[in-house]
Amino acid sequence: MSKFEIQNLGKASIKSPLQLSTVRGDNIFNFIKEDHKVVYNLSLEAYKSCLDKGQDPVCLEKAGPRQNVFFDSKTTKAAIVTCGGLCPGINNVIRGIVMALHYFYDVKRILGVPYGYEGLNPKMGYGFQELTPDKVKDIHQFGGTILGSSRGGQDVGVMVDTLVHQKIDILFAIGGDGTLKGADAIGEEIQKRGLDISVVGIPKTIDNDIDIIDKSFGFETSFDIASSILRDAHNEAAGAYNGISIIKLMGRDSGFIAACASLSMPVVNFVLVPEMNFKLYGDTGFLAMLKKRLEDKKHAVIVVAEGAGQHLFNKDKVRTDASGNIQHDDIGTFLKNEISAYFKDVMPTTIKYIDPSYIVRSAAANSGDSVFCSGLAYHAVHGAMSGKTRFVVGRVNNKYVYLPIKAVTSKRKKIDLESEFWFSVLQSTGQPLSM
């Protein structure tokens, strides 16, 4: 079994209710065949390597509706669960799944699982929500999740027992790295029991740190909202002699939000991300570079990702949250205090510290993310109805594809400091390469 091969519950032998085509040229969208693939590595180097070795390139399974489905819509029952931190677009995905199940496949029985995986533990006593088009038709206008969320896993056996007891055929799990690993564990237990239950993941992380896929939903909205905050922070800094604005944005292990927000609002002078092991002191240290900036321009805007600079703290042990994520020390207040102490006897400064993280992550999705969320939801439903399981839906090389959960959770996506992307950040900010 290849790294990107998708598992199936069995033979899809039921004719799809979708009235699509199988021929080109009739102006009707065609069903996706199982042998429709998307090339993973588009580089010329990879292409030549395949030619030299006489091998087919590594390919991904193209997402979309199949001509035959596995589940009979008349008897199919689905459930949706949302886990982890909030992120713009969760409600859009919920809405898209419900609408696609109801109107595309005539699936009428859809349950909402409250408060993450806790909702699959009967001892919590949460019950379930019936989800219908009328109940979800307007939820895309609001941030957060109508189902509620929680961190941390539950007993896998208990969760599968609940799915069996509730006669659930398909579980859609919307969440990040921990949620997806939990979904895969549920799928593994289902497989051990020989059950026909599909488990589908829709990657959700505001940090955009899910491996392989182009981006995760909510990410675009996050730096869109953050960019206007940076504009106002710049106004604060420029309005004072030697004014300094420090803005802390989300990004536990990867600095994509900080970098993209700074690119979209090019008033930022320093971007500090977890991928950097920057120094505070010395001739090429951050504080020396900041001093030079103030001497030249009399103000500075600093954007720092929440996971940046953790090497600057003296840690006795690693702390983790309920989802297993490493808990970081507060780099924002640390930088504020260090900058204040450094300039105390050097020059007068005015420092403003801004942390808009929870405002950003609780916002409603913008138009770009809204379109993206609908696409993810629809393709997740198509894959699930065809009997695929233990997979996520995402975009790779700008194409919707299905990927095994394990393929995207083996490591976190991070900024390559030698990439064109990071170089564009340095060009925008004027941040020294030596730092």
> Among 151, 149, 114, 150, which Cα is nearest to 130's?
114
pLDDT digits (tens, 9 = 90+) for 206-235: 999 999 999 999 999 999 999 999 999 999
Of all residues in the chain, what percent carry a pLDDT higher than 70? 97
Q: Do residues 221 and 363 touch, judged by C-beta distance below 8 A?
A: yes
Please classify residue 78 by burial: count the beta carbons closer than 10 Å to its beta carbon, then call 0-12 exposed, 13-18 middle and 19+ buried. Answer: buried
In the prediction, which pLDDT does 224 show?
95
Q: Residue type at 309? A: G
pLDDT band at 433 (very low <50, low <70, confident <90, very high): confident
In the prediction, which pLDDT does 318 show?
67
Backbone angles phi, psi at 243, to 5 degrees: -75, 140
DSSP 302-332: EEEETTTTGGGS--SS--B-TTSPBPPP-HH
pLDDT digits (tens, 9 = 90+) for 347-381: 999 999 999 998 999 999 999 999 999 999 999 99
Higher pLDDT, 320 or 40: 40
Rounded Cα–Cα distance for residues 201 and 188 (Å): 14
Architecture of the structural domain at 220-361: 3-Layer(aba) Sandwich (3.40)
pLDDT digits (tens, 9 = 90+) for 265-296: 999 999 999 999 999 999 999 999 999 999 99
Rounded Cα–Cα distance for residues 85 and 89 (Å): 12
* 7-216+365-409 and 220-361 share one fold: yes
Architecture of the structural domain at 7-216+365-409: 3-Layer(aba) Sandwich (3.40)
Q: What is the pTM of this model?
A: 0.94
Rounded Cα–Cα distance for residues 169 and 167 (Å): 6
Q: Which long-range contacts (CB under 8 A, 24 or more apart) does 320-329 make?
A: 321/151, 322/150, 322/151, 322/152, 323/84, 323/151, 323/152, 323/153, 323/176, 323/178, 323/179, 324/178, 325/177, 325/178, 325/252, 326/252, 326/253, 328/252
Q: Do residues 280 and 225 touch, judged by C-beta distance below 8 A?
A: no
Q: Do residues 173 and 183 touch, judged by C-beta distance below 8 A?
A: yes
> Among 209, 142, 216, 256, which Cα is nearest to 369's?
216
Query: Average pLDDT for residues 19-36, to the nearest whole number?
Result: 94
Q: Where are the domains of the chain?
A: 7-216+365-409, 220-361
SS3 19: coil
Query: Average pLDDT for residues 169-183, to the nearest whole number?
Result: 96
Decide if pLDDT at 316 tops 80.
Answer: no
In the prediction, which pLDDT does 41 show?
94
pLDDT band at 317 (very low <50, low <70, confident <90, very high): low
Of all residues in the chain, what percent carry a pLDDT higher than 90? 92
Task: Give the tokens for residue 205.
Answer: 């992380």
Decide if pLDDT at 185 tops 60.
Answer: yes
Which are the contacts of 222, defined by CB distance < 8 A and separation ≥ 6? 87, 88, 206, 249, 250, 257, 261, 360, 361, 363
Rounded Cα–Cα distance for residues 250 and 242 (Å): 26
Catalytic positions: 207
Q: Do residues 4 and 59 touch, judged by C-beta distance below 8 A?
A: yes
pLDDT band at 327 (very low <50, low <70, confident <90, very high): confident
Categorise residue 334: left if φ over 0, alpha if ψ from -120 to 50, beta otherwise.
alpha
pLDDT digits (tens, 9 = 90+) for 28-70: 999 999 999 999 999 999 999 999 999 999 999 999 999 999 9
E strands within 63-167? Answer: 68-69, 77-82, 109-113, 129-130
Categorise residue 282: left if φ over 0, alpha if ψ from -120 to 50, beta otherwise.
left
Decide if pLDDT at 388 tops 90.
Answer: yes
Higher pLDDT, 433 or 86: 86
In the prediction, which pLDDT does 426 show?
96
